[in-house]
Amino acid sequence: MISIFGTSLNFLSLLFCLIGLSIIAFAKINNTRNRLVYIKAGTNAILSSCIIIIICFLALLIEFLSDSFDLKFVANTSSTSTPLIYKIGALWAGSAGSLLLWNTIVSIYFMYFILKFKTRLQEIYPTTILIMGFIYACFVGFLYFLQNPFEPVFGIVDGRGTGPNLQHILMLIHPPLLYTGYIGFLIPFSMTLAALIEGKDKKDYVSINRSHVLFAWLVLTVAIILGGRWAYLELGWGGYWAWDPVENASLMPWLVSTAYLHSILVEQRRGMLKLWNVILVSIIYCLTILGVYLVRGGLIKESVHSFAESEIGGWFLALFFVLFVFSFLTILIRFKSLKPREKIESFSSRESGFLYNNVLFVGIMIFILFAIFQPIFSSIIFDRNIKLVNQSGYNQIAALFGYFLLALMGVAPFLGWKKTNRSELKRIFKVPIALSLFTGLTSVLFFWIFSHLSLMNFSVCVYVSLITFVSYGIFDEFIRVIYKRVKKRNENPLIAFWSIIKTNQSRYGGYIVHLGFLMMIIGFIGRGYESKADYEINAKSSEDLIIDDYTVVSFNNFIEKSDIPNDLLIDELMSRNEIPAALRSEYEQSVLEIINRVDSGRTNHFAEIAEIRFNYKGEIINLPVEKRFYYSPNEITKEIALDSNIIKDLYIILNRVDYLSNSIQITVWINYLVNWVWIGAVIILIGGIVSLYPFASYGGKLRRNYD
| Tens-digit pLDDT profile for residues 414-473 | 988 888 888 889 999 999 999 999 999 999 999 998 878 889 999 999 999 999 999 999
Range with top average pLDDT, 130-134, 296-300, 408-412:
130-134
pLDDT value, residue 631: 82
What is the per-residue pLDDT for 673?
97
Alpha-carbon separation of residue 656 from 596, 605, 631, 670 (angstroms): 19, 17, 19, 20
Q: Where are the domains of the chain?
A: 1-167, 400-525+676-703, 531-675
Report pLDDT for 303. 58
Check residue 696 and give its pLDDT: 43
Looking at residue 667, what is its pLDDT? 97
Q: How many Cα neighbours within 13 Å face the side chain of 465? A: 20
CA-based nearest residue to 349, from 293, 430, 425: 425
Residue 282 has pLDDT above 70, yes or no: yes
Q: How many CB atoms neighbour CB 541 within 10 A?
A: 11
CA 644/CA 657 separation, integer angstroms: 25
The three-state secondary structure class of 387 is: coil
Average of pLDDT values for 214-240?
Answer: 96
Q: Which residues pair with 649 in a beta bridge?
A: 644, 671
Can you list the alpha helix ranges (DSSP code H) found in 93-244? Answer: 95-117, 125-145, 174-184, 186-198, 203-234
- Packing angle, helices 174-184 and 203-234, rounded to 10: 160
pLDDT at 703 (0 to 100): 40
Least Cα distance to 687 among 469, 434, 474, 473 occurs for 474
Please name the residues in contact with 466: beta carbons below 8 A apart, sequence gap of 6 or more. 403, 406, 407, 410, 436
Q: Which residues of 296-319 are buried (b: 16+ CB within 10 A; e: fewer)?
A: bbbbbeebebbbeeeebbebbbeb
> How much is the pLDDT for 110?
98
Within 10 angstroms of residue 680's Cβ, the number of other Cβ atoms is 22
Nearest alpha carbon to residue 56 among 178, 112, 139, 173:
139
Average pLDDT, the chain: 91
Q: What's the mean pLDDT in 149-167?
A: 92
Buried b (16+ CB within 10 A) or exposed e, 606-638: bbbbbebebebeeeeeebbbbbbbbbbeeeebb
3-state secondary structure 548-562: CCEEEEEEEEEEEEC
d(C-alpha 188, C-alpha 204), whole Å:
12
Proportion of the chain above pLDDT 90, given as a percent: 69
Give me the helices (H) in 383-504, please.
391-411, 422-450, 455-489, 493-503
> Any idea what DSSP says for residue 620?
E
Tell me whether strands 701-703 and 696-698 are parallel, antiparallel or unpaired: antiparallel
pLDDT of residue 340: 77
Strands 619-630 and 605-616 turn out to be antiparallel
pLDDT band with cut points at 50, 70 and 90 for residue 115: very high
- CB 165, CB 150: distance < 8 Å: no
- pLDDT digits over 345-382, tens only? 888 889 999 999 999 999 999 999 999 999 888 888 88
Alpha-carbon gap, residue 108 to 179, rounded angstroms = 12
Query: Averaged over 483-505, what is the pLDDT?
Result: 88
Q: Is 647 left (phi over 0), alpha (psi -120 to 50) or beta?
A: alpha
Round to whole Å and give the CA distance between 239 and 651. Answer: 10
Taking 60 as the threshold, does the pLDDT of residue 309 lie above it? no
pLDDT for 341 beyond 80:
no
- Residue 606, pLDDT > 70, answer yes
pLDDT(591) > 50? yes
Listed range (138-152, 551-565, 608-622) with the worst mean pLDDT: 551-565
CA distances 605 to 66, 91, 572, Å, are 21, 21, 11
pLDDT at 305 over 70: no
Burial 120-150 (b: 16+ CB within 10 A, else e): ebeebbbbbbbbbbbbbbbbbbbbbebbbbb
Distance of alpha carbon 188 from alpha carbon 191, whole angstroms = 5
Q: Is the pLDDT of residue 705 over 70?
A: no
Mean pLDDT to the nearest integer, 612-625 = 94
Listed residue (329, 279, 209, 286) closest to 201, CA to CA: 209
Q: What is the mean pLDDT of residues 599-609?
A: 80
Q: Is 204 helix (H, G, I), strand (E, B) or coil?
A: helix
pLDDT tens, residue by residue, 62-98: 999 999 999 999 999 999 988 899 999 999 999 999 9
Angle at 656 between CA 651 and CA 660, to 5 degrees: 135
Q: How far is CA 140 from CA 41, 47, 144, 315, 630, in A?
A: 20, 14, 6, 12, 35
Average pLDDT for residues 114-131, to the nearest whole number?
93
The pLDDT score that the predictor gives to residue 565 is: 83
Residues 6+ apart with CB under 8 A from 656: 577, 664, 665
Distance CA 519, CA 645 (A): 15
Beta carbons within 8 Å of 517's beta carbon, 6+ residues apart: 409, 680, 684
